[in-house]
Amino acid sequence: MACFSEQAIGIVALLLGVSGSIKRLNMADRIEKKQQSRAGKIGVFLMDRSFYVLGVLLFLVIWQAASTLKLFGSDFSEAFSPLAAALALVEMGRDGDIVRHAIPSLRRVLVSLAFAILFALPVGVLVGYFKRLEQLTYVVFQFMRMISPLAWMPIAIIIFGVGDLSVTFLLWLVAIWPLILNTAHGAGRVSPLWLNMAKTMGARDAGILRKIIIPAAIPDMLTGLRLAVGVSWIILVPAEMLGVPDGLGYFILDTRDRFRYDQLIATIVVIGAIGYLLDSANRWLISKYSWKI
């Protein structure tokens, strides 16, 4: 199992170090495209990205138009506009509100993910590899994964009290299912040919697990991780409405209580943007570490 925890730590480290790696990727891109002229390069880049950018611009225009035409009702329309949100965002950036609340949110998600990975990957590998274990756990796992972790909230609060621990527990609870089930799927569909090959190479159960099953399941583990990150980030907001003093979910309620709807919208934008970045990091991990046949 030593190697397994290495992998888990590796994945966590990669998650944390992903921004640095993205920079490196861009460097490689730049070197590759050095031959092209600067203008040509920008032209190609814009052509490639034009429809993505256009989509975002269209969205902003429709949003702004809806605010200006008071489609949200006359009371809030001004505060709900992207312009107001942008100004609030600048303000929140300046006085540190974004960092103050984004950091605890990210910490909660990453800590719970780390624990989810440590728990779910071994469980998933074993469940996927041993048919009997899969049969034993199948109904329970499928049943459990359909329960919103928020339903566990009162129990979490009884056990862990109001605060960080409860939130982390709920996030952990939501993250383990996609990780377990995807890992099990990956570990279960390993080609029998590879298993036979490993046996003729002198591998026993531990060797087969380390050298075949776990690496073979990595693409599915990463898919599971992507789903886990997505669903954790979604559950984070309501979970942080359960009595913690900081975090983006908490700040949503706080802005509401202060009638700062522009800040509320700005917080929503921040939540979406961080979620998008986390998912991009996962997509990058998948493209980098998924083997192809």
Partner 1 sequence: MNMTNNGNSRKPLLELQGVSKVFNKEGKDFLALENVELSVGEGEFVCILGPTGCGKSVTLQIVAGLIEQTSGSVILDGTEEHGPGPHKGMVFQEYALLPWRNVIENVEIGLELKHVPGNERHRIAKEQLATVGLSGVEHQRVHEISVGMRQRVAIARALANSPRILLMDEPFEALDALTKEEMQIQILKVWEATRTTILFVTHDVDEAIFLSDRICVMDINPGRLKKVLVNHLPRPRHECMSRTDREFNEMRDEIIGLYSSLKDEELDLII
**Residue numbers at the binding site for partner 1 (CB under 8 A):** 191, 193-194, 196-203, 207, 211-212, 215-216, 218, 291-293
Decide whether 175 or 214 has the Cβ nearer to partner 1.
Answer: 214
Cβ at position 42, least distance to partner 1 in Å: 32
Spatial distance between the Cα atoms of 227 and 69, rounded to a whole number of angstroms? 38
Cβ at position 204, least distance to partner 1 in Å: 9
Decide whether 96 or 202 has the Cβ nearer to partner 1.
Answer: 202
Spatial distance between the Cα atoms of 106 and 66, rounded to a whole number of angstroms? 32
Cβ at position 213, least distance to partner 1 in Å: 11
Residues with Cβ within 8 Å of residue 268, at least 6 apart in sequence: 252
Cβ at position 293, least distance to partner 1 in Å: 5
Decide whether 112 or 223 has the Cβ nearer to partner 1.
Answer: 223
Nearest one of 116, 114, 63 to 86, comparing CA atoms = 63
Cβ at position 292, least distance to partner 1 in Å: 6
Q: What amino acid occupies position 282?
A: N
Cβ at position 195, least distance to partner 1 in Å: 9
Cβ at position 206, least distance to partner 1 in Å: 10
Decide whether 191 or 280 has the Cβ nearer to partner 1.
Answer: 191
Spatial distance between the Cα atoms of 289 and 16, rounded to a whole number of angstroms? 16
Cβ at position 189, least distance to partner 1 in Å: 14
Torsion sign across C-alpha atoms 174, 240, 257, 273:
negative
Decide whether 31 or 293 has the Cβ nearer to partner 1.
Answer: 293
Decide whether 42 or 201 has the Cβ nearer to partner 1.
Answer: 201
Decide whether 215 or 238 has the Cβ nearer to partner 1.
Answer: 215
Reported as half-sphere exposure (CB side, CA atoms, 13 A), residue 192 has a value of 0
Decide whether 144 or 206 has the Cβ nearer to partner 1.
Answer: 206
